[in-house]
Amino acid sequence: MIENPTVKVDNVTFTYERGPLALQEVSFEVKKGEILGILGANGAGKTTLCFHLNGIIPTVYTGIEKGSISLCGLDPWEAPIIQLASKTSMVLQDPESQFTTTNVASELFFGPANLAVDRDEILRRAAWAAKVCGIDGLEERKPKELSGGQKQRVALAAGLTMLPEVLILDEPTSQLDPIGTTEVFDVIMQLANTESMTIIITSHKTDEIARLASKVLVLSEGRIKGIGTPKEIFSQTELLESVGVNPPAVTMFSAKMAKKFPGFQERYDRIGGIPLTINESYSLLKDLLDEGFLQLEWKEPPATPPVSDKIVLEAENVTFVYPARIPVTALRDVNLTIHQGEIVAIVGQNGSGKTTLVKHFLGLLEATQGVTKVEGEDVSELTTGSIAKSISLILQNPDYQLFCISVQKEIEFGLKNLGLPEDEIARRVEQSLKEVDLEVLRDIFPFRLSFGDRRKVAAAAGIAMDPEVLILDEPTTAQDYRGRHVLCQIATRMQKKGKTIVMISHDMDLVAQYADRLIVMAEGRILADGPKREVFGMHEVMEKAFLKPPQITQLSQKLESYGIKKNLVTVDEMVACFKGGGA
């Protein structure tokens, strides 16, 4: 007996009302218990496709649609929302847009209560979802009091309490730390295997999609560019890069090795295809090194650049307690100095105190104990306006920073408060819009833009201020492969002009490429502070902070016995260390 697909999308084309063509002739099927990973750059149509599967289109967003969709035997374009809600649940990439109640426990109860689920079953589901998503203990907290990653876990847990037949996840881990991301993806795999839940997930985290998905669909400009198994899709590295999708680092490494060494691809084709995981890549390399096909020739990676003597940011014995019914200690006796011209990454688990720390440098929070200084001056003695002239903060959630009627007005606002002449304001506006590729959207109301583009607007406004210190709070949130590098490349150009960059990020590949120094935080304390290659080698510290080094770093650590002398952090560094066995 042939099993009918749980989800069937047949030749769907969709154009938003007074908007662009978003989907073009999209067709695919997903069976019960399968996990479909959807990849694509921002604007590729991923979210629009998800909205079609749970009735948000056409219930909330309207347009011209062609084709047909079947979901658990229902037509989501025709079925009542209450009927769809019993079959499918969707978790959005912006968790705050889904919160409706006053505390975490109520969020978990809300969905099943609306489906008239028995009280005891609601409590059981809520306890289970809280545990698997790592938020047990936060039930009495208000969502607004949580970190971005904690909010994302709450939104996912609320979706799980519905126990849907089809779970739709739109960038569900974009604000999570690496270990948290792995844990959530493990839960997703468990649901597919044990509950036979059908899962559709969009994500820019291709390393997790590679190990998780039953099959992968690639979208570009609303069209399907490829669909197949992870091996079939990720082997097409040039196609993926051309549409703004970054393959897993170990997969890119193998693709580059295949170009450098004739016969390399033939060897991995013999064992099932291009490596997708660290273990697959290590196993292949070990065999090729042992038999002499390859030799490892150590090439010293770039040294950490020298640091200026000038201190621009300083924390001395800083402790901070959030006042609440149950006070929360967010920082515990923190000491650090950041020098002019550094690119420093502050990394750690969600809720470890990273954002709380940098808010002290802007005077947004006042230390319960201790002192924070900007260029030697006590922040408590400075005005917010004077701090804003030298430090720009680009928040993880841009909606906290946007309030003007157009993109251009957003960027002009801070510049006018600096009292700059009109011609200088116009020059900076043009330059910053060009930097983030938003020139054609200058007259658009910011809240009509995608979440990713709103982040670019907030970044452009901060960059235009030409600060001495630029603080990027999770620059990769809602950004695709190209977008995350655009922001970091802007920061690199600013560093070359003597500016200081502080980056808060969970993206270990990104901090490995752009930062020189890592500060690792956990439970409000600094666990480690040093050059990135050294810190990535501190296994106990990384584990305690719920972090994982980049894939290439982990692979280089496995190859230490073959002659890798330092932690490598990029694909090109790794490729450079190999030569042919006969060379």
Please state the φ and ψ torsions of residue 246, each to the nearest 5 degrees.
-95, 115
**CATH class of the region 7-242:** alpha beta
Determine the Cα–Cα distance for residues 230 and 247; give it in Å rounded to an integer.
10
Confidence category of residue 183, pLDDT binned at 50, 70, 90: confident
What rounded mean pLDDT belongs to the chain?
90
Query: Which burial class, exposed, middle or buried, applies to 389 when counting CB atoms under 10 A from its CB (0-12, 13-18, 19+)?
Result: middle
Of residues 505 and 175, the one with the higher pLDDT is 505
Residue 95 pLDDT: 81
Residue 452 and residue 436 in contact, taking contact as beta carbons nearer than 8 Å: no
**338, β-bridge pairs:** 313
pLDDT digits (tens, 9 = 90+) for 77-104: 888 888 888 899 888 877 888 888 989 9
- Tell me the sheet residues that pair with 321: 329
What is the predicted pLDDT for the residue at 29?
Answer: 95
Q: In what order do the strands lie in the sheet with 328-339?
A: 328-339, 311-322, 369-374, 377-378
pLDDT of residue 3: 66
Q: Count of CB atoms within 10 A of residue 25's CB?
A: 13
Label residue 478 by pLDDT band (50, 70, 90). Answer: low
Whole-angstrom CA distances from 261 to 156, 266, 292, 390 are: 44, 10, 13, 50
Task: Give the pLDDT band (50/70/90) at residue 303.
Answer: confident
Please tell me the predicted confidence (pLDDT) of residue 437.
Answer: 85
Domain with CATH 3.40.50.300 in the chain: 7-242, 311-547
Candidates 48, 152, 142, 161; CA nearest to 103 is 142
Q: Confidence class of residue 314 from pLDDT cuts 50, 70 and 90?
A: very high
What would the pLDDT profile of 94-153 be if each residue is shown by its tens digit?
788 888 898 999 999 998 998 889 999 999 999 988 988 888 888 888 888 787 778 888
* Segment 5-17 mean pLDDT: 93
The residue-averaged pLDDT of 414-441 equals 89
Q: Backbone phi, then psi, for 426, in 5-degree steps?
A: -60, -40
Average pLDDT over residues 510-514: 91
What does the pLDDT read at residue 27? Answer: 96
How large is the angle between the packed helices 422-435 and 407-417, nearest 10 degrees?
130
Give the confidence band of 39 by pLDDT, cuts at 50, 70, 90. very high
State the residue for tokens 């600096």: 418
**How does residue 2 score in pLDDT terms, banded at 50, 70 and 90?**
low
Burial 194-208 (b: 16+ CB within 10 A, else e): eeebbbbbbbbbbbb
* Whether 410 contacts 442, CB under 8 Å: no
pLDDT of 582: 64
Residue 355 CA to residue 476 CA, distance in Å, equals 15
- Please state at what angle helix 148-160 crosses helix 104-114, rounded to 10 degrees: 30
pLDDT band at 361 (very low <50, low <70, confident <90, very high): very high
Give 258's Cβ-side CA count (13 Å radius).
Answer: 20
CATH code for residues 311-547: 3.40.50.300
